[in-house]
Structure 1
Amino acid sequence: MPDSPIRLLIADDHPIVRDGIRGMFTGDPRFEVLAEADDGARAVELARALDPDVILMDLRMPRMNGVEAIRELARLGLRARVLVLTTYDTDSDVLPAIEAGATGYLLKDTQREELVRAVTAASRGESALSPSVATRLMGRVRTPVTPLSPRELEILHHISQGDTNRETAAHLFISEATVKTHVLHIYAKLGVNDRAAAVAVAFQRGLLPLA
């Protein structure tokens, strides 16, 4: 008796992308595309109703983004494996997705053969990473985390409170230009590009108290 096909759910807010992904699996008896979702919230609803084996998940979608959807799937205890399929491979995209529970992370320029292998691996609970993402993650493991200075931690705390550079400067009795310089150093050390990502990574690494 042949193995049952791997049941897929596609989540992406672009219809043409969903059509392209569906086309990669249509006609292949090893796979069955159950449904498509155009945002993370709908993906969670469909996952609860249809119990797919693998969800191909975009990251940047309306209503609920991919990382939020992955966290919600984990919270609900759903068994579906999530394979992120996106155009973004920056630290601020990759790390939250992996930490939220994604089984794999591929870019949208992945060839069909590689995508098929990744979906098959994900269905078995095995990790599947695009080369650039794997290199980035290995770099994070091998490169010691540069510690933040006490002043940088102070400024990071003010950033987490929503203070502007000017407000932070007033609190710490330093110039706004000095604050800006420290903020750039914080971004570089955390591997991020904006204030929200800096705060998110800081919480993940225990640099900021949760309460």
Structure 2
Amino acid sequence: MPTSVLIVEDEPEFMRRFTNAILSDPALALAGSAGTARAAMAMMEAQPPDVVLLDLGLPDLNGVEVIRHALARQCRCDVLVVTMFDDDQHVLASIEAAPPPATC
């Protein structure tokens, strides 16, 4: 069974590239794509993905909220952060949003 991937990205060109990469790999299945955190969280409620490919800089909420939501719904979900932020605050907040593996 292919690994389902939800893309959360607000830049259309990056969304297109990520989508094409997922669709070209038979080991992956596109679970959906969202341009906002709220849309992504609604998609996760309907069907939790195996992987979330996530931009932290979203127009409605901080991407860290999406990480928390994803892992609260399915703690075995992998989250891959793709972002232009390069400061310690954003990087650490992303890491801290994920519980240690032993708590799943």
**Pairwise TM-score range, normalised by the shorter structure:** 0.7 to 0.9
* Superposition TM-score, scaled by structure 1 size: 0.44
Please give the root-mean-square deviation of Cα atoms over the aligned residues, in Å. Answer: 2.0
More helix by share: 1
Percent sequence identity is 34
Aligned mate of 1:17, from 14, 17, 26: 14
Q: How much has 1:95 moved relative to structure 2?
A: 0.2
Matches within 5 A, 1:1-211: 4-74=1-71, 76-79=72-75, 80-101=77-98
Q: Which has the higher contact order (CA 8 A, sep 6+)?
A: 2
* Superposition TM-score, scaled by structure 2 size: 0.85
CA separation of 1:56/1:92 partners in 2, compared to 1, >3 Å: closer, same or farther? same
Q: Secondary structure at the match of 2:82?
A: strand
State which structure, 1 or 2, has the greater radius of gyration over its C-alpha atoms: 1
Q: Give the Cα–Cα distance (whole angstroms) in 1 for the partners of residues 67 and 25 of structure 2.
A: 27
CA separation of 1:11/1:32 partners in 2, compared to 1, >3 Å: closer, same or farther? same
The answer for unaligned runs of 5 or more in structure 1 is 104-124, 126-211
* 8 Å contact kept, 1:39–1:64: yes
For residues 138-181 of structure 1, give each alpha carbon's deviation from its aligned partner in whole angstroms, at most 9, with x where no partner exists. Answer: xxxxxxxxxxxxxxxxxxxxxxxxxxxxxxxxxxxxxxxxxxxx
More strand by share: 2
Q: Secondary structure at the match of 1:63?
A: coil
* 8 Å contact kept, 2:9–2:58: yes
Q: Give the Cα–Cα distance (whole angstroms) in 2 for the partners of residues 28 and 70 of structure 1.
A: 24
* 8 Å contact kept, 1:43–1:69: yes
Q: Give the Cα–Cα distance (whole angstroms) in 2 for the partners of residues 77 and 97 of structure 1.
A: 17
